[in-house]
Amino acid sequence: MTRKSVRRMVLTVSAVFWLTLSPESHAVVEILPEVSLTVDGRAIQGHAAAASHPTVREILAAFSRAEAAVQKQDLEPLLQFYAKAYNYHGLKPADVRRIWGEVFAHYRNLSSTHLFSEVKVFRSGSQLHAEITCTGGLYGTETQGGTRITLDSWFREVHYLVHEDGAWRFLGNAGAAPSAAPFTSSPHHPLF
């Protein structure tokens, strides 16, 4: 493992750990300094070039809109972030509505962290798609008891997005369904 990889992992874990323990709601949606960006098979070099790329800015804006809806516990704007064909291990948009409704009923001061380490943008047929390697989590305070907890977390998860109806939307994640829930998870899986 290179020194740069170790530094990136330590910073990522530290940020996620700090947000878990913080009693306040903080949102973080950003690309990491060592981000790898590929657009239609062409590598974009450097953090500044990646951060200022129009597609990356659109993707960051889509996640930020979703985060704002999470913090306001506003279901309709949040559901606009999900693609019509959203599918996460058989869960469809109606399931997402139900799960987020449960989360909003049981937690307050919600926030999430999305740290992007790799972004691949490509065209499939007539639609733009993106694969985003992301580390982060969803955090909230229990309405009963007031304990700040991690509701969901992910490490180098690949989020699939599609450009649909003029905006980037969440299509699903890579990987198989977990066989067991980690000790930090709750009965809810917010899919975000």
The pLDDT mean for the chain works out to: 84
Query: CA-to-CA distance for 19 and 68, rounded, in angstroms?
Result: 17
Structure tokens at 169: 């939307």
DSSP helix, strand, coil percent of the chain (3-state; round to 5): 35, 40, 30
Residue type, 68: A
CA distance 90 to 65: 25
- Over range 123-144, report the average pLDDT: 95
Which residues have CB under 8 Å from 40's CB, separation 6+? Answer: 121, 122, 123
Using 50, 70 and 90 to split pLDDT, how confident is the model at 160? very high
Nearest CA to 86 among 182, 162, 153? 162
Residue 105 parent element (H or E): helix 93-106
Residue carrying structure tokens 């691949």: 120
Which fold would CATH assign to domain 3-173?
A: Nuclear Transport Factor 2; Chain: A, (3.10.450)
Q: What is the mean pLDDT of residues 75-83?
A: 96
Percent with pLDDT over 90 in the chain = 71
Q: What pLDDT, in 10s, does the model give residues 85-120?
A: 998 888 899 999 999 999 999 999 999 999 999 999
pTM of the model as a whole: 0.80
Least confident of 2-16, 49-63, 148-162, 168-182: 2-16
Q: Is 4 helix (H, G, I), strand (E, B) or coil?
A: helix
State both tokens at 164: 């649909």
φ/ψ of residue 180, rounded to 5:
-145, 150
**Of 31-35, 73-77, 151-155, 177-181, which range is least confident?**
177-181
Q: Is 13 helix (H, G, I), strand (E, B) or coil?
A: helix
More confident residue, 158 or 13: 158
- The reported pLDDT for the residue numbered 191 is 63
Of 70 and 188, the structure prediction assigns the larger pLDDT to 70
Query: Distance (Å, rounded) from C-alpha 12 to C-alpha 135?
Result: 7
Distance CA(187)–CA(39), nearest Å, equals 37
Q: Where are the chain's structural domains? A: 3-173
What does the alpha-carbon distance between residue 27 and residue 113 come to, in Å, rounded to a whole number? 6
